[in-house]
Structure 1
């Protein structure tokens, strides 16, 4: 008798909790900017007047993301394993398309978006999922041979390097760093030889960072503003200084939901890159701690599901999704608190932004699909144990 496993309801609940909290914080952080601001979004001019502008768009993305998550949840993870090559090639093609003049849409200085009617998608976000599925399939196919230098580790590294370079050319270094970190964790969990991995990744990455800092005229001022934002608080250090003001003003208990002042056009990107600062200001240390505990619970639950999977592909895919979301959250909050340089990546499930939200929800759908298989196997084992 064939049984269908149920999805992990705790992960589903934690996901809904994060998304609901994200919509709430987008309402608070974006209303002033949406009402008073004049800006261009993906080539479309907007002159303010509607304080719910961003909220309505975010809710629309949540609806689309929920549908995508449910679809991904009901697709057996073996489907991704069978079609991993097609998925990775489509992801690469999308990264190439945005580099072709005339086909891309530039935003925040990066050519990462493709306009599709009234909306735009950020191809680098979807590329992260494409690479995760590719690496999980390749590593699980190679098995013990993955520890070999030429036939094991080199092919996945070449594909990872290709993805990294295409995203870095946009340029979107924050997403490129998340992709590289996710790939590294997956390779280590897949049994890669650490000595080979170190020798093949650290020297070229160090050379890339050195070249970027040396050749990019905007790189060094950003590093200086990270090290000492107070040296230019009205210029390059403005974002980080305003983020510090928001977090400091929040104190222990916060100013109260909707009562923050930094979102009154003082703090740039308050509803996207710096939404964590608004959370800190309005909810304080206590509210931020509770939020982080929910976030941590989501990541640990996803990791628990991944490690329970008996299939190597499913386990590595789940680890990749959890690492991707966890690294992105870490980089976003690290930038807002001045722990690392600002990279401009959104806070998963919380920040305004359709592509990031969609990819996180699809990734969660894949985790739920894995949990269904884990629960199915558990149910079968219980049925067999009860047989005389």
Structure 2
């Protein structure tokens, strides 16, 4: 009889810490805006008055995410390996659907959202997970042949390029860049020839970014405000300068939970893209450092699970998920601290938003599925050793 291994409880505990902390910070960062705000979100009118508006929605998504994580954890990772093509094709099809002109998929200037009744899903988030599973399966299947130029590296690069272009067309360049970086790390870990990878990717993507900046004045303005936000602090540099004020006001120990002032409609997107600035203001350097240590522990534990697996597909899938979450956190925090241009991606597990949270929890569930197989193999080896 085949035994089932236990999941990695440390990863589960760290995930619970991040989710709990995320709900706590959404309570603090969103209450003022939810009470006073008047806006339309994904087709739904909201006129304020309920300070727990976003918190209720976030808790609902957390509940759905927990169910999705548990389901993904109890599915053997071999299922993803067998059905990688179907998963990737569905992810690709969703990216195409949101770009269809006769569908009402636009929100905040981007055609990224697929409306399903009262809920909306950001298809680019699920595309990242679909591409990760595809690349892991292809690289594992090719083995040593992956180092070959035509039959090894070209097919995964073509698929990655197709995903990248569709997401960039929405436009969502931040998510597209994270997808590209995740794919690059997976290919390098899978044994790609670095010379071939560099020669095949750098010229076309450099040309793409130059063309994008030329054809989109908004992107160029965003870069200019990143380089010098104070010159336009009442215009395009307002968001970054307010983030600076929040982080500076936090100091060493912070103002205390709920005591920040930037969320009082000074800092736009305080509960989503710039929730890290609220964390810095209310918890200070000490609290922010502790939070980042939990984040780092989660990523390192996920990486540890990947490296312990003897299955190439499982290892690469786990590396892709850890890289995706880590890069997204890096991009979000980099934007809030002025280290890189603002991209508008949420902070994984922390920011308000259902699609990102759901995908991160599904990804964590897959990592837990891998950990169960690792622990099962370890248990079987111990039992075998006792018999001998």
Q: Give the TM-score normalised by the residue count of structure 2.
A: 0.99
Q: Which residue matches 1:146?
A: 146
Q: Which residue matches 2:34?
A: 34
CA distance in 2, matches of 1:119, 1:372: 32
CA distance in 1, matches of 2:364, 2:50: 32
Q: Where does 1:170-249 land on structure 2 (aligned, <5 Å)? A: 170-249=170-249
CA distance in 2, matches of 1:219, 1:387: 65
Cα deviations by residue, 1:236-282 (Å, 9 ceiling, x for unpaired): 00000000000000000000000000000000000000000000000
Q: Which residue matches 1:60?
A: 60
Cα deviations by residue, 1:104-125 (Å, 9 ceiling, x for unpaired): 4212211100111111000000
Q: Where does 1:292-307 land on structure 2 (aligned, <5 Å)? A: 292-307=292-307
Q: Which residue matches 2:127?
A: 127
2:40 aligns to what SS in structure 1?
strand
CA distance in 2, matches of 1:220, 1:324: 26
Superposed displacement of residue 53, structure 1: 0.2
- Deviating beyond 3 angstroms after TM superposition, the runs of 4 or more aligned structure 1 residues are none
Q: Where does 1:1-388 land on structure 2 (aligned, <5 Å)? A: 1-388=1-388
CA distance in 2, matches of 1:64, 1:26: 17
Superposed displacement of residue 231, structure 1: 0.5
Cα pair 1:43 1:105 within 8 Å, conserved? no
CA distance in 1, matches of 2:162, 2:147: 21
Give the unaligned 5+ runs of structure 2.
none
1:259 aligns to what SS in structure 2?
coil
CA distance in 1, matches of 2:376, 2:285: 41
CA distance in 2, matches of 1:22, 1:364: 16
Superposed displacement of residue 197, structure 1: 0.2
Cα pair 1:97 1:104 within 8 Å, conserved? no
Change (3 A) 1:83 1:104: farther
With 367-376 and 105-114 compared, the bigger mean Cα shift is at 105-114
CA distance in 2, matches of 1:283, 1:101: 45
Cα pair 1:104 1:112 within 8 Å, conserved? no
Cα pair 1:225 1:236 within 8 Å, conserved? yes
Give the unaligned 5+ runs of structure 1.
none
Cα pair 1:226 1:338 within 8 Å, conserved? yes
CA distance in 1, matches of 2:102, 2:371: 42
With 37-46 and 297-306 compared, the bigger mean Cα shift is at 37-46
What is the alpha-carbon root mean square deviation over aligned residues?
0.6
Cα deviations by residue, 1:144-186 (Å, 9 ceiling, x for unpaired): 0000000000000000000000000000001000000000000
Superposed displacement of residue 103, structure 1: 2.0
1:261 aligns to what SS in structure 2?
coil
Cα deviations by residue, 1:283-315 (Å, 9 ceiling, x for unpaired): 000000000000000000000000100000000
